[in-house]
Amino acid sequence: MGQLEGKVAIVTGSGRGIGQQVALRLARDGAAVVVNDLDDAPAKETIALIEKLGGRAVACNGDVTAKDFGERIVQTAVKQLGGLHIVVNNAGYTWDNVIQKMTDEQWYAIMDVHVTAPFRILRAFQPFLKEAFEAESRGGQRVVRKVVQISSTSGVRGNAGQVNYSSAKAAVTGMTRTLAKEWGRYACTVNCVAFGYIQTRLTKPLAEGEAGTIDVAGRTVKVGVQGARIAAMNQMIPLGRGGFPEEAAGAIYLFCSPDSDFVSGQTLVVTGGA
């Protein structure tokens, strides 16, 4: 039996990248997983990989910034998988510009996906959390539930050209600390992982002058990092490279596992030593 046998987890943005690796890591340790992506195909791929491991997974796809999404994904976990023990708020992307060129649309899009969406999911989670804790307490059980938020070194240190993303990720750490204080009474830990350079589609190397894009809710957003900048970042990282998604998932897993049952309100900075 894995450490998470019998647990149910939500992982937003788990069709690709770090989120997919988190979903697989939790499933390998026994958790049933609600997988989420904007698009059906990536979510189906993650579910197929989980099922190949012998695990259970269901999809709750769509835009995490939709007003009803928080209620919908919580209810998917409770009704289809029988409960909810772990929430990983991973979905997000970057849409960069210097402040004088940043539009209101850019600002609100990034704040919505990184701050408002987790807020709504956790607000929807609270009634279930309270009810489950009270029922388990009456039965003499103590079940520790977990929330893991995803921040960034941009939120911890700031980053030029990312005033929207840096502000949003700083807000995530404030949300983490506050809910750790509010939800300790329900035997729920709330922690945060702040990543530096992780090798995903958002940070893929670009040739000079080349622009990569992703499609997000009808928007075409430029992503990627110039090769010279990646080389500079690699020189600053004592381990000599950016992290792999599965390594990022390991840091998140730490806060999902019983090994962190007395750790709450913390932000773990994961940078390879930079």
* Each residue's pLDDT tens digit, 212-266: 777 887 777 877 777 777 888 888 999 999 999 999 999 999 999 999 999 999 9
Catalytic residue (choose from 165, 186, 197, 253): 165
Q: What is the pLDDT of residue 201?
A: 79
Mean of per-residue pLDDT scores for the chain: 94
Given a contact cutoff of 8 angstroms between Cβ atoms, the answer to whether 211 and 222 are in contact is yes
The reply to whether 253 belongs to the active site is no
More confidently predicted of 123 and 215: 123
What is the token pair recorded at 179?
Answer: 């809910």
User: How distant, in Å, are the alpha carbons of 10, 82, 271 from that of 7?
Assistant: 10, 9, 29
Q: Which domains does the chain have, with CATH numbers?
A: 8-197+245-270 (3.40.50.720)
31-35, 113-117, 122-126, 214-218: least confidently modelled range: 214-218
User: How distant, in Å, are the alpha carbons of 43, 55, 61, 87, 103 from that of 40?
Assistant: 5, 19, 7, 20, 30
Q: What is the pLDDT of residue 263?
A: 98
Spatial distance between the Cα atoms of 199 and 206, rounded to a whole number of angstroms: 13
Enter the pTM of the model. Answer: 0.93
Q: What is the pLDDT of residue 58?
A: 98
